[in-house]
């Protein structure tokens, strides 16, 4: 159970990350919670970290990651066509499916693909036909497509993709990344949706499509 101030701070950090992809400063957190000093913010951050609601990202100034939100908060979803910019509430009587949740996938530099052992509840109407699985997004290179760190990418299994589709690409059989898929001459180009990142180019035999983005789910 979180205290009121802990809950307020967690929501403030989560909302700021969703809006800009950047953690708020300690001064901004102090002002938002109407605290008298930044030492109060440090205590709240430490308490949230101990309870595993957030974690500090190493080697990055003031960088925080929201790991989870309180269970009593409502979960919202968005279809792939809107890329989660306008989340849609899940109705209580909506048909829900359980799909595999396979670890975290980079929306930045590729990270090792991790197979998870848990499931994620998803409204059936969000998925459409085909076999699906979910991956938790890590990183900010797809923010301009509305895909934020901590979102759940809902992936339709596929081995091929059209130019311009957002795909899960497995690079060298051990690194997975979420990017726009494009063919560039004899090469495969994986494009981010963030001007701060450069496209990644690979020989076709180094890249294997493992699915295409079908939708997003975001916890608030």
DSSP 8-state assignment for residue 193:
S
In whole angstroms, give the CA distance from residue 211 to residue 92: 29
- Residue 79: the pLDDT is 41
136 half-sphere exposure, CB direction, 13 A CA radius: 17
Helix intervals (H) in the chain: 4-20, 26-32, 38-50, 124-127
Domain 4-66 matching CATH 3.30.70.260: the answer reads no
CATH code 1.10.10.10 region(s) in the chain: 4-66
Q: Over range 64-80, report the average pLDDT.
A: 59
List pLDDT tens digits, range 123-144.
Answer: 877 777 888 989 989 889 899 9
Selecting among 5, 23, 36, 179, the annotated active-site residue is: 179
Least confident range from 40-54, 150-164, 182-196: namely 40-54
Write down the CATH superfamily of domain 75-219. Answer: Umud Fragment, subunit A (2.10.109.10)
Position with higher pLDDT, 112 vs 80: 112
- By DSSP bridging, strand 111-112 and strand 175-184 are antiparallel
CATH code 2.10.109.10 region(s) in the chain: 75-219
List pLDDT tens digits, range 180-193.
Answer: 999 999 999 999 99
- 141 a catalytic residue: yes
Selecting among 36, 46, 121, 141, the annotated active-site residue is: 141
In whole angstroms, give the CA distance from residue 89 to residue 162: 30
The distance from CA 62 to its chain's CA centroid, rounded to whole angstroms, is: 19
- Residue 110: the pLDDT is 55
Which pair of structure tokens corresponds to residue 26? 């300690």
- Residue 128: the pLDDT is 78
pLDDT cut 70: percent of the chain above it: 81
Mean pLDDT of the chain: 80
């Amino acid at each position: 159970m979180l205290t009121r101030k802990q809950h307020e701070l967690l929501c403030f950090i989560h909302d700021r990350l969703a809006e800009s992809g950047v953690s708020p400063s300690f001064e901004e957190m102090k002002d938002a919670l109407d605290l008298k000093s930044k030492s109060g913010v440090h205590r709240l951050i430490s308490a949230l970290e101990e309870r595993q609601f957030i974690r500090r990202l190493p080697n990055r100034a003031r960088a925080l990651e929201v790991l989870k939100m309180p269970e009593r908060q409502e979960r919202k979803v968005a279809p792939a066509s809107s890329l989660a910019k306008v989340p849609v509430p899940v109705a209580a009587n909506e048909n829900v499916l359980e799909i595999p949740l396979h670890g975290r996938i980079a929306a930045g530099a590729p990270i090792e693909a991790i197979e998870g052992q848990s499931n994620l509840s998803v409204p059936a109407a969000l998925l459409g036909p085909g076999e699906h699985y979910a991956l938790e997004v890590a990183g900010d290179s797809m923010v301009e497509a509305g895909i934020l760190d901590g979102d759940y990418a809902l992936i339709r299994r596929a081995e091929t993709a059209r130019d311009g589709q957002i795909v899960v690409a497995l690079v060298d059989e051990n690194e997975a990344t979420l990017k726009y898929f494009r063919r560039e001459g004899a090469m495969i180009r994986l494009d981010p949706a963030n001007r701060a990142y450069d496209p990644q180019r690979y020989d076709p035999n180094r890249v294997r499509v493992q699915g295409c983005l079908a939708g997003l789910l975001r916890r608030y």
